[in-house]
Amino acid sequence: MSDNLLRTPLYDLHLELGGKMVPFAGFEMPVQYPLGVKKEHLQTRDSAGLFDVSHMGQVKLVGKNAAKALETLVPVDIMDLPVGKQKYAFFTNDAGGIMDDLMVANYGDHLYVVVNAACKAQDIAHMRANLGDDVSIEVLDDRALIAIQGPKAATAMARIQPALQSMVFMDTQLIDIDGALCYVSRSGYTGEDGYEISIPNADAERLVKLFLAQPEIEAIGLGARDSLRLESGLCLYGHDIDTTTTPLEASLIWAISKNRRADGERAGGFPGAEVILSQITNKDWTRKRVGLLGEGRAPVREGAELFNEAGDKIGVVTSGTFGPTIGKPVAMGYVETAYSTLETKIYAEVRGKKLAMIVSRAPFIEQRYFRG
């Protein structure tokens, strides 16, 4: 493997656990363990799984105007985000396209931001260039980040730190876990209940071994992380959303805060606002991200072209796999808006064959976030 790939603080542990390492976003990351992708997927749905996501970017924004400054870059209400809460957001460009999606948490005296690994350098540069001199931007490259996901995650983690059990979806706190001060949010990227935990590098391997010692939890690789998030209808940046897709095309209108829309008290004021607010008002976008369920068994992968009954090309698949939980091929893609109605039958071309798919709701499974 290339010498210039980065390694997370858990690299040696992945090898010890039998992880199959692959290049991903500039890092050597485990795509699977001996359990295998399908069993790892089902383990997370049935019990709990632990994921190393230390390749993501973790950033601390300090300054009394940090929330106001960040609002100039996202179409999301950050100024009213309560202390101890986290919110999904995205950076937009001047054309209304999505530069990256991110999580923002309010810790009172600072904001804690998690950005995607592949966009980390550009996002940090973007914030440095635009947040102003009175906002301090601290890159937390001395911390690992792990996710513990699944219906038994809370039971397992409560044995180690009982206070975690009282958190609800999108709660955050800075808390001691077995002697290490950790950023914890009750959230994740699988559609299941669970936590994302930022741990000082020096404590990462010790804590992860403690977590894996719980009978409910197994180590899970990137392969199952992808199939889990896809069944849950969650976008992967660079595939389902990118700089050429607006939030409206991406079916992410729910994430645009009401007070940042045209009739809101802090309307606009973010890059691409004119484009995005016009699309909301006029409903004039021409393509839409949809969920797609296969009628057969063959998975339909990213890049497969989509056609209508007459054989006209109407779109493209952006993510696709076989969904182990539902036992069917699942995919997401963009289609012309005329074909975005639920239950519309369209066709994906796979190796010269046209496979029937049904436009469906995404998530394809019931999301089980713990809301109290």
Q: What is the pLDDT of residues 113-166, one digit of tens each?
A: 999 999 999 999 999 999 999 999 999 999 999 999 999 999 999 999 999 999
Domain residue ranges of the chain, discontinuous segments joined by +:
6-51+141-231, 286-372
- Residue 76 is given by DSSP the state S
pTM of the entire structure? 0.96
Superfamily of domain 6-51+141-231: Probable tRNA modification gtpase trme; domain 1 (3.30.1360.120)
> In this prediction, what percent of the chain has a pLDDT beyond 70?
99
Three-state SS at 361 = coil
Q: What is the pLDDT of residues 289-319, one digit of tens each?
A: 999 999 999 999 999 999 999 999 999 999 9
Q: Interhelix angle for 222-231 vs 37-46, to 10°?
A: 50
Q: Pseudo-torsion of CA 265, 268, 269, 273, nearest 10°?
A: 170
Q: Which residues pair with 181 in a beta bridge?
A: 176
Q: How far is CA 109 from the centre of its chain?
A: 25
Q: What is the pLDDT of residues 162-193, one digit of tens each?
A: 999 999 999 999 999 999 999 999 999 999 99
pLDDT (average), residues 68-87: 98
Instruction: State the average pLDDT for the chain.
Output: 97
Q: What is the pLDDT of residues 45-72, one digit of tens each?
A: 999 999 999 999 999 999 999 999 999 9
- Check whether 2 has a pLDDT greater than 70: no
Three-state SS at 5 = coil
pLDDT (average), residues 256-274: 98
The answer as to CATH 3.40.50.10490 being correct for domain 286-372 is no
Q: What is the pLDDT of residue 1?
A: 56
pLDDT (average), residues 249-277: 98
